[in-house]
Structure 1
Amino acid sequence: MRAQSDTWFSEYLLRIGNGTKEMIGADYVCLPDDIVIGYNTTEESIDKFIENVFPCLQNNATLGAYISSRAILSTKNEHVDELNAMMIDKFPSKEKVYYSFDPVDDDSRNNYLIDFLNSITPNGLPPHVLKVKTNCPVILLRNLDPHNGLCNGTRLMVRAFQDNAIGAEIVKEENNFQFT
Protein backbone atom coordinates (compact mmCIF):
# COMPACT_ATOMS: atom_id res chain seq x y z
CA MET A 1 0.00 0.00 0.00
CA ARG A 2 1.35 3.41 -0.86
CA ALA A 3 1.88 5.61 2.18
CA GLN A 4 0.56 8.65 0.32
CA SER A 5 -2.81 6.95 -0.30
CA ASP A 6 -3.11 5.63 3.28
CA THR A 7 -5.10 8.41 4.95
CA TRP A 8 -4.67 7.08 8.49
CA PHE A 9 -0.87 6.81 8.15
CA SER A 10 -0.57 10.23 6.49
CA GLU A 11 -2.58 11.86 9.28
CA TYR A 12 -0.54 10.00 11.90
CA LEU A 13 2.71 11.34 10.41
CA LEU A 14 1.23 14.85 10.34
CA ARG A 15 0.30 14.60 14.03
CA ILE A 16 3.90 13.64 14.81
CA GLY A 17 5.26 16.48 12.66
CA ASN A 18 2.87 19.03 14.16
CA GLY A 19 3.74 17.96 17.70
CA THR A 20 0.16 16.94 18.52
CA LYS A 21 0.97 13.23 18.90
CA GLU A 22 1.76 12.02 22.42
CA MET A 23 5.51 11.90 22.96
CA ILE A 24 7.67 9.84 25.28
CA GLY A 25 10.22 12.34 26.48
CA ALA A 26 11.50 14.71 23.82
CA ASP A 27 12.69 12.13 21.28
CA TYR A 28 10.24 9.21 21.10
CA VAL A 29 6.72 8.65 19.81
CA CYS A 30 4.38 5.98 21.12
CA LEU A 31 3.43 3.77 18.17
CA PRO A 32 0.00 2.11 17.96
CA ASP A 33 0.05 -1.63 18.70
CA ASP A 34 -1.33 -2.53 15.25
CA ILE A 35 1.78 -1.20 13.46
CA VAL A 36 4.34 -2.62 15.89
CA ILE A 37 6.00 -5.99 15.47
CA GLY A 38 6.93 -7.25 18.92
CA TYR A 39 10.48 -8.29 19.68
CA ASN A 40 11.19 -11.86 20.79
CA THR A 41 14.60 -12.89 19.54
CA THR A 42 16.41 -11.06 16.78
CA GLU A 43 15.99 -13.79 14.15
CA GLU A 44 12.37 -14.53 15.07
CA SER A 45 11.46 -10.83 15.03
CA ILE A 46 13.16 -10.26 11.67
CA ASP A 47 11.37 -13.30 10.23
CA LYS A 48 8.05 -11.87 11.42
CA PHE A 49 8.97 -8.48 9.93
CA ILE A 50 9.84 -10.06 6.57
CA GLU A 51 6.55 -12.00 6.61
CA ASN A 52 4.67 -8.73 7.17
CA VAL A 53 6.42 -6.96 4.29
CA PHE A 54 6.37 -10.00 1.97
CA PRO A 55 3.24 -11.99 2.93
CA CYS A 56 2.86 -15.33 1.11
CA LEU A 57 6.27 -14.98 -0.55
CA GLN A 58 6.30 -18.66 -1.52
CA ASN A 59 3.14 -18.18 -3.62
CA ASN A 60 4.01 -14.78 -5.10
CA ALA A 61 7.77 -15.01 -5.68
CA THR A 62 7.43 -15.16 -9.48
CA LEU A 63 5.21 -12.05 -9.75
CA GLY A 64 7.06 -8.88 -10.72
CA ALA A 65 4.25 -6.61 -9.46
CA TYR A 66 4.32 -8.30 -6.04
CA ILE A 67 8.10 -8.03 -5.69
CA SER A 68 8.37 -4.49 -7.07
CA SER A 69 5.73 -3.07 -4.72
CA ARG A 70 7.67 -4.05 -1.58
CA ALA A 71 11.01 -3.10 -0.06
CA ILE A 72 12.78 -3.12 3.26
CA LEU A 73 14.93 -0.08 3.95
CA SER A 74 17.78 -0.21 6.42
CA THR A 75 20.11 2.27 8.05
CA LYS A 76 23.37 0.35 7.67
CA ASN A 77 24.94 -1.80 4.96
CA GLU A 78 25.69 -4.58 7.46
CA HIS A 79 21.96 -4.85 8.19
CA VAL A 80 21.21 -4.89 4.46
CA ASP A 81 23.62 -7.79 3.96
CA GLU A 82 21.97 -9.76 6.79
CA LEU A 83 18.46 -9.06 5.48
CA ASN A 84 19.48 -9.99 1.93
CA ALA A 85 20.86 -13.32 3.14
CA MET A 86 17.66 -14.07 5.05
CA MET A 87 15.48 -13.08 2.09
CA ILE A 88 17.43 -15.22 -0.39
CA ASP A 89 16.94 -18.22 1.90
CA LYS A 90 13.16 -17.66 1.76
CA PHE A 91 12.88 -17.78 -2.04
CA PRO A 92 11.58 -21.17 -3.23
CA SER A 93 14.11 -21.99 -5.91
CA LYS A 94 17.63 -23.30 -6.48
CA GLU A 95 20.51 -21.11 -5.31
CA LYS A 96 23.54 -20.06 -7.37
CA VAL A 97 26.63 -18.65 -5.64
CA TYR A 98 28.99 -16.21 -7.37
CA TYR A 99 32.38 -15.23 -5.94
CA SER A 100 34.31 -12.06 -6.64
CA PHE A 101 37.84 -12.20 -7.97
CA ASP A 102 40.01 -9.79 -5.99
CA PRO A 103 43.65 -9.65 -7.06
CA VAL A 104 45.65 -6.48 -6.59
CA ASP A 105 47.93 -5.51 -9.47
CA ASP A 106 51.48 -4.51 -8.57
CA ASP A 107 51.25 -5.71 -4.95
CA SER A 108 54.66 -7.41 -4.66
CA ARG A 109 54.73 -6.98 -0.87
CA ASN A 110 51.27 -8.52 -0.25
CA ASN A 111 49.96 -5.38 1.45
CA TYR A 112 46.43 -6.44 0.58
CA LEU A 113 45.66 -9.97 1.70
CA ILE A 114 42.96 -11.73 -0.32
CA ASP A 115 41.02 -12.57 2.87
CA PHE A 116 40.92 -8.87 3.75
CA LEU A 117 39.77 -7.90 0.26
CA ASN A 118 37.03 -10.54 0.41
CA SER A 119 35.81 -9.27 3.79
CA ILE A 120 35.02 -5.72 2.67
CA THR A 121 32.06 -4.58 0.62
CA PRO A 122 32.64 -1.04 -0.67
CA ASN A 123 29.55 1.02 -1.50
CA GLY A 124 28.30 0.30 -4.99
CA LEU A 125 29.87 -3.16 -5.22
CA PRO A 126 28.33 -6.57 -4.50
CA PRO A 127 29.69 -8.71 -1.67
CA HIS A 128 32.46 -11.27 -2.22
CA VAL A 129 29.90 -14.09 -1.95
CA LEU A 130 26.78 -13.26 -3.97
CA LYS A 131 23.89 -15.70 -3.63
CA VAL A 132 20.97 -15.46 -6.05
CA LYS A 133 17.93 -17.55 -6.84
CA THR A 134 15.58 -17.45 -9.79
CA ASN A 135 12.84 -14.85 -9.31
CA CYS A 136 14.72 -12.97 -6.59
CA PRO A 137 14.91 -9.20 -7.05
CA VAL A 138 18.19 -7.43 -7.79
CA ILE A 139 19.07 -3.79 -8.34
CA LEU A 140 21.62 -2.57 -10.86
CA LEU A 141 24.52 -0.68 -9.32
CA ARG A 142 25.91 0.73 -12.57
CA ASN A 143 24.63 2.28 -15.79
CA LEU A 144 24.99 -0.60 -18.26
CA ASP A 145 22.66 0.47 -21.08
CA PRO A 146 20.61 3.57 -20.14
CA HIS A 147 18.93 3.71 -23.57
CA ASN A 148 17.30 0.34 -22.83
CA GLY A 149 16.53 1.06 -19.17
CA LEU A 150 19.56 -0.61 -17.61
CA CYS A 151 20.56 2.22 -15.26
CA ASN A 152 21.82 2.49 -11.72
CA GLY A 153 18.84 1.68 -9.48
CA THR A 154 16.87 -0.33 -12.04
CA ARG A 155 14.96 -3.14 -10.36
CA LEU A 156 15.15 -6.57 -12.02
CA MET A 157 14.15 -10.13 -11.27
CA VAL A 158 16.61 -12.96 -11.83
CA ARG A 159 15.15 -15.37 -14.39
CA ALA A 160 18.17 -17.57 -15.15
CA PHE A 161 21.86 -17.87 -14.37
CA GLN A 162 24.98 -19.40 -15.82
CA ASP A 163 28.53 -19.69 -14.49
CA ASN A 164 29.50 -16.12 -15.44
CA ALA A 165 26.20 -14.43 -16.24
CA ILE A 166 22.82 -13.67 -14.73
CA GLY A 167 19.72 -13.37 -16.91
CA ALA A 168 17.27 -10.85 -15.48
CA GLU A 169 14.03 -9.14 -16.48
CA ILE A 170 13.32 -5.47 -15.81
CA VAL A 171 10.44 -5.13 -13.37
CA LYS A 172 7.74 -2.87 -14.76
CA GLU A 173 7.52 0.50 -13.02
CA GLU A 174 3.71 0.86 -13.02
CA ASN A 175 3.21 -0.94 -9.69
CA ASN A 176 6.26 0.38 -7.83
CA PHE A 177 5.98 2.36 -4.63
CA GLN A 178 7.02 5.99 -4.59
CA PHE A 179 9.04 7.97 -2.07
CA THR A 180 8.06 11.57 -1.53
Structure 2
Amino acid sequence: MRARFDPDFVEFLMMIGNGEEPANEKHEIQIPQPMLIQYTSLEQSIEDLISYVYPDLSLFETTPFDMMQRIILCPKNDFVNYVNSKLIQRISREPIIYISDDRTKHASDQGDYVDYLNNLEPKGLTHELNIQLTLYMMKFL
Protein backbone atom coordinates (compact mmCIF):
# COMPACT_ATOMS: atom_id res chain seq x y z
CA MET A 1 0.00 0.00 0.00
CA ARG A 2 2.80 2.39 0.86
CA ALA A 3 4.31 1.88 -2.56
CA ARG A 4 1.28 3.48 -4.18
CA PHE A 5 1.79 6.80 -2.40
CA ASP A 6 5.48 7.03 -1.50
CA PRO A 7 7.87 7.26 -4.47
CA ASP A 8 10.97 7.35 -2.22
CA PHE A 9 9.90 4.07 -0.63
CA VAL A 10 9.34 2.55 -4.09
CA GLU A 11 12.81 3.65 -5.18
CA PHE A 12 14.34 2.13 -2.03
CA LEU A 13 12.54 -1.20 -2.63
CA MET A 14 13.58 -1.23 -6.29
CA MET A 15 17.23 -0.64 -5.36
CA ILE A 16 17.04 -3.57 -2.93
CA GLY A 17 15.35 -5.77 -5.52
CA ASN A 18 17.92 -4.88 -8.17
CA GLY A 19 20.84 -5.48 -5.79
CA GLU A 20 21.88 -1.81 -5.97
CA GLU A 21 21.31 -0.89 -2.29
CA PRO A 22 24.61 -1.15 -0.34
CA ALA A 23 24.81 -3.93 2.24
CA ASN A 24 27.27 -4.64 5.06
CA GLU A 25 29.49 -7.73 5.43
CA LYS A 26 26.52 -9.70 6.83
CA HIS A 27 24.48 -8.79 3.72
CA GLU A 28 22.23 -6.54 5.80
CA ILE A 29 20.78 -3.39 4.31
CA GLN A 30 20.66 -0.19 6.34
CA ILE A 31 17.11 1.15 6.51
CA PRO A 32 17.10 4.94 6.06
CA GLN A 33 16.59 6.89 9.29
CA PRO A 34 13.34 8.59 8.17
CA MET A 35 11.75 5.14 7.70
CA LEU A 36 12.47 4.09 11.29
CA ILE A 37 10.58 4.62 14.52
CA GLN A 38 13.19 5.08 17.22
CA TYR A 39 13.09 2.59 20.07
CA THR A 40 12.70 4.27 23.45
CA SER A 41 10.78 1.60 25.34
CA LEU A 42 8.50 -1.18 24.17
CA GLU A 43 5.40 0.68 25.33
CA GLN A 44 6.37 4.05 23.84
CA SER A 45 7.69 2.59 20.59
CA ILE A 46 4.43 0.67 20.02
CA GLU A 47 2.45 3.84 20.76
CA ASP A 48 4.62 5.74 18.24
CA LEU A 49 4.13 3.01 15.63
CA ILE A 50 0.36 3.00 16.10
CA SER A 51 0.27 6.81 15.89
CA TYR A 52 2.26 6.69 12.65
CA VAL A 53 0.17 3.98 10.98
CA TYR A 54 -3.17 5.21 12.36
CA PRO A 55 -2.71 8.97 12.86
CA ASP A 56 -6.42 9.64 13.34
CA LEU A 57 -8.55 6.74 14.59
CA SER A 58 -11.63 8.97 14.47
CA LEU A 59 -11.53 8.46 10.69
CA PHE A 60 -12.56 4.89 11.34
CA GLU A 61 -15.90 6.23 12.58
CA THR A 62 -16.76 7.84 9.25
CA THR A 63 -14.60 6.16 6.60
CA PRO A 64 -13.63 2.68 7.81
CA PHE A 65 -12.45 1.62 4.35
CA ASP A 66 -9.63 4.18 4.48
CA MET A 67 -8.47 2.72 7.78
CA MET A 68 -8.70 -0.84 6.48
CA GLN A 69 -5.97 -0.02 3.99
CA ARG A 70 -3.43 0.31 6.83
CA ILE A 71 -1.80 -2.57 8.63
CA ILE A 72 0.83 -3.37 11.24
CA LEU A 73 2.49 -6.72 10.55
CA CYS A 74 3.74 -8.68 13.56
CA PRO A 75 5.97 -11.75 13.66
CA LYS A 76 4.15 -13.60 16.47
CA ASN A 77 0.55 -14.03 17.65
CA ASP A 78 1.25 -12.76 21.16
CA PHE A 79 2.59 -9.51 19.68
CA VAL A 80 -0.47 -9.27 17.40
CA ASN A 81 -2.66 -9.55 20.50
CA TYR A 82 -0.61 -6.86 22.27
CA VAL A 83 -0.86 -4.39 19.37
CA ASN A 84 -4.57 -5.15 18.91
CA SER A 85 -5.26 -4.47 22.58
CA LYS A 86 -3.45 -1.11 22.29
CA LEU A 87 -5.53 -0.19 19.25
CA ILE A 88 -8.77 -1.25 20.91
CA GLN A 89 -7.94 0.95 23.92
CA ARG A 90 -7.71 3.95 21.58
CA ILE A 91 -11.17 3.43 20.11
CA SER A 92 -13.69 5.32 22.20
CA ARG A 93 -16.63 2.93 21.87
CA GLU A 94 -17.51 0.39 24.54
CA PRO A 95 -16.54 -3.04 23.13
CA ILE A 96 -18.77 -6.07 22.86
CA ILE A 97 -16.79 -9.03 24.20
CA TYR A 98 -17.59 -12.66 23.44
CA ILE A 99 -15.75 -15.36 25.43
CA SER A 100 -15.16 -18.83 24.01
CA ASP A 101 -16.98 -21.84 25.42
CA ASP A 102 -14.20 -23.95 26.92
CA ARG A 103 -16.23 -26.78 28.38
CA THR A 104 -15.09 -30.35 27.90
CA LYS A 105 -17.31 -32.98 26.31
CA HIS A 106 -17.69 -34.77 29.65
CA ALA A 107 -18.37 -32.60 32.72
CA SER A 108 -16.21 -34.91 34.85
CA ASP A 109 -13.14 -33.87 32.78
CA GLN A 110 -13.74 -30.13 33.21
CA GLY A 111 -11.51 -29.70 36.27
CA ASP A 112 -8.62 -31.49 34.58
CA TYR A 113 -8.63 -29.53 31.32
CA VAL A 114 -10.03 -26.02 31.89
CA ASP A 115 -6.60 -24.43 32.55
CA TYR A 116 -5.08 -26.29 29.63
CA LEU A 117 -7.86 -25.15 27.27
CA ASN A 118 -7.50 -21.52 28.34
CA ASN A 119 -3.73 -21.56 27.70
CA LEU A 120 -4.06 -22.74 24.10
CA GLU A 121 -3.65 -20.09 21.40
CA PRO A 122 -4.15 -21.87 18.10
CA LYS A 123 -3.16 -19.88 15.03
CA GLY A 124 -6.01 -17.61 14.00
CA LEU A 125 -8.15 -18.37 17.06
CA THR A 126 -8.61 -16.63 20.38
CA HIS A 127 -10.60 -17.14 23.58
CA GLU A 128 -11.93 -13.61 23.47
CA LEU A 129 -13.51 -11.82 20.55
CA ASN A 130 -13.54 -8.08 21.15
CA ILE A 131 -15.76 -6.18 18.71
CA GLN A 132 -15.72 -2.43 18.39
CA LEU A 133 -18.78 -1.12 16.58
CA THR A 134 -18.24 2.19 14.88
CA LEU A 135 -20.92 4.75 14.06
CA TYR A 136 -20.58 3.65 10.46
CA MET A 137 -21.34 0.02 11.35
CA MET A 138 -24.15 0.94 13.72
CA LYS A 139 -26.07 2.65 10.88
CA PHE A 140 -26.60 -0.75 9.30
CA LEU A 141 -27.80 -2.56 12.42
Same fold (TM over 0.5): yes
User: Could you say what secondary structure the match of 2:45 adopts?
Assistant: helix
- Runs (5+) with no aligned partner, structure 2: none
Please give the TM-score of this superposition, normalised by the length of structure 2.
Answer: 0.83
More helix by share: 2
Q: How far apart in 2 are the matches of 1:65 and 1:96? A: 21
TM-score, normalised via structure 1 length: 0.67
1:73 aligns with 2:73: yes
Equivalences, count: 140
How far apart, CA to CA, are the structure 1 residues paired with 2:45 and 2:86? 12
1:65 deviation in Å? 2.3
Please identify runs of 4+ aligned residues in structure 1 that moved more than 3 A: 106-112
In the alignment, residue 130 of structure 2 is paired with which amino acid? K
Decide whether the 8 Å contact of 1:104 with 1:112 is kept in 2.
no
The residue type equivalent to 1:88 in the other structure is I
Give the deviation of 1:47 after TM superposition.
0.4
- Structure 2: how far apart are the matches of 1:25 and 1:96? 51
Query: How far 1:44 moved relative to its partner?
Result: 0.3
Matching of residues 83-102 of structure 1 within 5 Å: 83-102=83-102
CA deviations 1:99-148 (Å, max 9, x no partner) are 111112147455852122112221232x2123222229xxxxxxxxxxxx
RMSD: 2.6
1:141-152 → structure 2 map (5 Å cutoff)? none
User: For the residues of structure 2 that align with 1:5 and 1:61, how far apart are their CA atoms?
Assistant: 20
Is the 2:2–2:9 contact (alpha carbons within 8 Å) kept by the matching residues of 1?
A: no
- Stretches of structure 1 that go unaligned for 5 or more consecutive residues are 137-156, 161-166, 170-180
